[in-house]
Structure 1
Amino acid sequence: MEVYLVRHTETVCEKGICYGQSNVGILEPYDIVFENILKQLPKEAKLYSSPLQRCVILAKHIQKNVQIDSIIEDPRLMEMHFGDWELQSWNDIPQEILNPWMEDFVNVRVPNGESFVDLNERVLDFFNNEIPKNLDKPLIIVAHSGVIRSILCKINNLPLQEAFKTSLDFGAVLKIELLS
């Protein structure tokens, strides 16, 4: 089965701002970037999306151009929750709070937020419970960097510590083949 992992396009946030589950928009105009994404997708598919607007905007454009019945918004596909750090500049987070997380982002929770393990558990809940039900046509998943990296760690049998060793640009489309 073909699964297309699509990262949302660039956000309106300035570089250096932490915006995990904050519902921020995407930069416009995005027509050219969206068209490039469409060229990499199948003509018909089932579509899942994070409910955050930066993914839903792209998912709606895909739905208009690919044969898709509906967009299934799933909160398990949301980016990591950065709790108290949401919409703060990374440089403004006190080092004594930031450093423990930087040293072990996999296990250490952000204050009032998640660790990467927390994100991974909900993403794997989605992956293990939704993917096997949908073997009849390709799947498109519009999501975030952390979510896509979590899925890649699962299918490539990689430890979560290695999740960020691969580049994953805004608007990236990764096609993976899953055995049924």
Structure 2
Amino acid sequence: MSTEIYLIRHTTPLVEKGTCYGQADLDVTESFYDEAALIREHLPATIKSVYASPLQRCSKLAQHLFPSHNISFHDDLKEIHCGEWELRKWDDIPQEIVMPWMNDFVNVRIPGGESYLDLFARTTAIFQRIAEKKESAAIVSHGGVLRSILSHLTNTALLDSFNVFKLQYGCVVKLYLQEDQFAHEVLHNVQSTSEQHKPSYK
């Protein structure tokens, strides 16, 4: 069986726009079933193994899409840890606190949380373990996690990853081996809700 890995981002989370969130365990919105139906259209029946973040916006989707699979939940597939900023409004975080991270979010850790490099390190490590199994698999996770994997595979600088990989809620990206290297194809990526992951003044 060919090695194919399907990267799936969770559906729209139930959170007010402008809120900082990472590992906060958000629920999903009422559009969940409609979004999941669109995702399912792009998934083959041959997927053998399913890996997911344990946060409910991912676990609910994984269990809905793959009800007959024994899903492997891993903390390393969680979104970036936003530490002291979790569930605070971006615009309520004082500028003198948020700006050092805004100016170098790749290397600077969120107070009590992670940097993008921290996220990248744990995400790519678990991805390598999954890839080494050489089987058809799905990973149901978060935007930061999927960008980390794609940046790793394409040698894209993390600083540029948000512009290079514009991954919407519910997106599906297929990874497949091409001359012993993973190539990728975006199968589904429709914007349904605008996102805000920084202060409005930036």
Given the two structures, how large is their TM-score scaled by the length of structure 2? 0.84
Match of 1:38 in 2: 40
Match of 1:75 in 2: 75
Q: Which runs of 5+ in 2 are unaligned?
A: 181-202
Match of 2:5 in 1: 3
Asked if 2 retains the 8 angstrom alpha-carbon contact of 1:80 and 1:114, the reply is yes
Matches within 5 A, 1:40-79: 40-45=42-47, 46-64=49-67, 68-79=68-79
Aligned amino acid, residue 113 of structure 2: G
Asked if 2 retains the 8 angstrom alpha-carbon contact of 1:7 and 1:148, the reply is yes
Match of 1:169 in 2: 168
Q: Confirm or deny that 1:131 pairs with 2:134.
A: no
Asked if 1 retains the 8 angstrom alpha-carbon contact of 2:12 and 2:29, the reply is yes
Asked if 2 retains the 8 angstrom alpha-carbon contact of 1:79 and 1:147, the reply is yes
More helix by share: 1
Deviation string, structure 1 residues 3-40 (Cα, Å, up to 9, x no partner): 11100001110011011000010101422111110000
Aligned amino acid, residue 113 of structure 1: G
Matches within 5 A, 1:114-125: 114-125=114-125
CA deviation after TM superposition for structure 1 residue 176, in Å: 1.5
CA deviation after TM superposition for structure 1 residue 124, in Å: 1.2
% same residue: 44
CA deviation after TM superposition for structure 1 residue 160, in Å: 1.1
Match of 2:85 in 1: 85
Q: Counterpart of 1:178 in 2: which secondary structure?
A: strand
CA deviation after TM superposition for structure 1 residue 128, in Å: 1.6
Given the two structures, how large is their TM-score scaled by the length of structure 1? 0.93
d(CA) in 2 for partners of 1:116 and 1:102?
A: 11
* Runs of 4+ off more than 2 Å: none
Asked if 2 retains the 8 angstrom alpha-carbon contact of 1:8 and 1:171, the reply is yes
Match of 2:105 in 1: 105
Q: Which runs of 5+ in 1 are unaligned?
A: none
Q: Counterpart of 1:34 in 2: which secondary structure?
A: helix
